[in-house]
Amino acid sequence: MAVRRIDQDHTRFRQIVRGKIKQNLKRFVSSGELIGKQGDKFVSIPMPQIALPRFRYGENKKDGVGQGEGEPGQPVPGQEGEGEGQAGENAGKHTLEVDVSLEDLARILGEELELPNIEPRGKKNLRASAGRYTGISRNGPQSLRHFKRTFREALKRQIASGTYDPDHPVIVPIRDDMRFRSVQTREVPQASAAVIYMMDVSGSMGREQKEIVRIEAFWIDTWLRHQYKNLEVCYLVHDAAAHVVDQHTFFHLRESGGTKISSAYELCLQVMRDKYPVAEWNVYPFHFSDGDNWSSRDTERCVDLLKTTMLPACNQFCYGQVKSAYGSGQFKKDLDQAFRGDEKVITTDILDRDGILPSIKDFLGKGR
């Protein structure tokens, strides 16, 4: 069958979806509504704005007719407890959801923020495929004909069918004997990447601040996963001391107490030494905090750690300062002062959810 009509319409539909996501990227990012809807490879994105508008009834059409048991005054069975139930002959609010692959989403993010692709460096663990003509197949162009194999096949056939005459060794290949060189994909090792997220969970980081970190981390993940085929992620939290935690804990833990940022950097360095040696890994440490540190002595220690050990071992170091009601924001100033002009250190201020996109652009815009 030729190209089916429906495929054209379907492609057009996907194009429109893509356009809408691009248009609304900012809203999707700041509302954080995509997170939690992602599976391994796809995100479902609610797209009410794609359905054609019509003059139609709204939600206040609350009465309806049903069929079943029950006395007047009893609740209609089969609805959800929260009163969100959508029983009724009008299907209720039906939001269109479209599945988009994370790969696509990353591409859209890249186009919208004009992110450069990251140049691969390092040599291990990651696989990419390269084609080489090492295989043999029964079909192919004449230019790739494998003479020796073809001859051998013809010979075999002639011997088997008894037409081979040793005194008069003429071999005539037929179509079935033909063998051709073919492309075989071969896996070659490529650069691998690790992201280390560090978050300040001291008392001053509230829910909203953590949500911002969560959203930002989702998009950074999406982008880096698009760039590296194999991405490892590691989560650290710190207040006065630092711990390695899993993803869920990272986003939900609420601790209180003081803040000693150096503790996180020390732990981070240890993780990098143990698991992600610089020769083989592209390491991206991200640190999110509200900018309050225990003391200026500790800040000095942080700067020192960064300068001497962390920076040489990672691609770039990113610090995102989330505004909170209690944070002084001093830490960013100190970092900016210490690393003025150093391309490897990127610091951003995230005032609110709308600040997420620009901050991502700053972090990833260098293509390192």
Residues that bind other proteins (CB under 8 A): 4-6, 8-16, 50, 52-79, 82-83, 85, 87-90, 96, 98-99
> Measured between alpha carbons, how far is 318 from 121 in angstroms, rounded to an integer?
19
**Closer by beta carbon to other proteins, 60 or else 139:** 60
**Closer by beta carbon to other proteins, 71 or else 165:** 71
**Closer by beta carbon to other proteins, 58 or else 166:** 58
> Measured between alpha carbons, how far is 321 from 330 in angstroms, rounded to an integer?
10
**Closer by beta carbon to other proteins, 98 or else 267:** 98
Contacts for 183 with CB less than 8 Å, ≥ 6 apart: 131, 132, 133, 135
CB of 44 to other proteins, least distance (A): 10
What secondary structure does DSSP assign to 210-255, as a single string? HHHHHHHHHHHHHHHHHH-SSEEEEEEEESSSEEEE-HHHHHH---
Q: What are the start-end ranges of the H helices in 119-206?
A: 147-161
β-strand pairing of 97-101 with 42-46: antiparallel
> Measured between alpha carbons, how far is 112 from 100 in angstroms, rounded to an integer?
16
**Closer by beta carbon to other proteins, 99 or else 187:** 99
Sheet holding 231-238, edge to edge: 242-245, 231-238, 192-200, 281-289, 317-322, 345-350
**Closer by beta carbon to other proteins, 14 or else 124:** 14
As beta bridge partners, residue 38 has 43
